Structure 1
């Protein structure tokens, strides 16, 4: 960034990474914006640096750990105009979950993108955003369920016993059927301590009459698998009670 001059600033996925916004596929490119003539004159021998000729107002650029980058709302806006649905919604969810965007801020984005290429799809992504999702895996699992016709009716569902004791919190929930789906990412569940806590929590929930399903990133790559599994669990739960 320093080698490209004082006007250079991170954009797109690079800006999102600096802000800690998750959801985009891991890529090696570093996206840097320069205004007008500066972009035309800039030279770099690093093939991983992608230069973009973009003009941004001074107030739209902030410093993150000393590195200039587009501010969160603009970063997210530019990403959802360019990305497909799953990563776009995951980025929105992540920004909301981290408090980098508010729902009020989100409501201003349609006006910013009006008439721009990709705006129609982006408005759909905005409508699906939900800051309760705590990881891109949770977002992808939710969208698979939506697409498969079994959308969850609760996210981060708290399950308590008759005395109000918290038995556990489920990532995705179908309350009527007492079904919970857990999105098992490596970061949150990869340590022995996390695995032990997951097992104890699952035992409490199962003993309370809940069905627990567990899904991984690999499962989200198969469009029918997650909704089929959820639908089967709901049917089995209704069958047991009839």
Structure 2
């Protein structure tokens, strides 16, 4: 019982995980550890890494899976690419079970990956571009975003850039640093174009995608996060995308925040205020952004109607 208490205390500082060496150091034998895993009383999310809780009681969280991969691959391992973006809280990439881990050349060659979802990258980022994110080593925001935009298409790349800027993880000057960092790397020419389209005023990947559809359809908005006020200066609402002269705004309606009862009530009252002030309100969902022609067509019709009116 004493050793169980000690092992749980150690695990508490490691997202609930312990490594094999730690278990042996607190009095468990290799045979006991193997039996605990075989019986299901302990879980093994990665090679020689354990979650000392029964399989029927709890499932390892995403964070525990990432930490398990890093612990299993040794002290030189760190999160990179999409996994580093996830740890930073940068949005814009599709959901994935993959865990991207970087290791310097010689360490990568010796590494034994025990998780099917772990993608090992033979990388050597300088120490100055590595940070600790709540105890998990990862590339910093500049290196992470630079690595990501070289590997993905335009829409997710610009969404990642917008998210990092909006969250304050990057500032405008960092975009030049990223351009310098990625020079001569595969995909750099396209990535420099993505950097030119970044706009930190976008508050979600859906807003970014909606904006890019409008740009591609030759009806770009002339304002983002447009504040609309009445003659007395009272704020009637804020439009995600705006066309000021024809008085048209577009809202990017994410499923989660706009389906709650309070949000629905607030959205309706705000829309009524804007409509009474002469503004046309368009609403777009993620599904709408999948059709390249739909959003530009709707916007173009609204602009034409407003000008005619």
Cα distance in 1 for partners of 2:124, 2:179 equals 20
Note the C-alpha offset of 1:137: 0.1
Cα distance in 2 for partners of 1:36, 1:111 equals 23
Q: After the TM superposition, which residues 1-242 of structure 1 pair with which residues of structure 2 at under 5 Å, given as runs? A: 1-240=70-309
Higher relative contact order (CA 8 A, sep 6+): 1
Secondary structure of 1:172 counterpart: strand
Q: Which has the larger radius of gyration?
A: 2
Secondary structure of 1:187 counterpart: helix
Answer with 133-142 or 59-68: which moved more.
Answer: 59-68
Q: TM-score when scaled to structure 1? A: 0.98
Cα distance in 2 for partners of 1:119, 1:45 equals 33
Uncovered stretches (5+) of structure 1, i.e. residues with no partner = none
Secondary structure of 1:168 counterpart: strand
Give the 4+ runs in structure 1 shifted more than 6 A. Answer: none
Note the C-alpha offset of 1:108: 1.9
Uncovered stretches (5+) of structure 2, i.e. residues with no partner = 1-69
Secondary structure of 2:250 counterpart: strand
Note the C-alpha offset of 1:160: 0.1
Secondary structure of 1:206 counterpart: helix
Equivalent pairs counted in the alignment come to 240
Secondary structure of 2:238 counterpart: strand
Q: TM-score when scaled to structure 2? A: 0.77
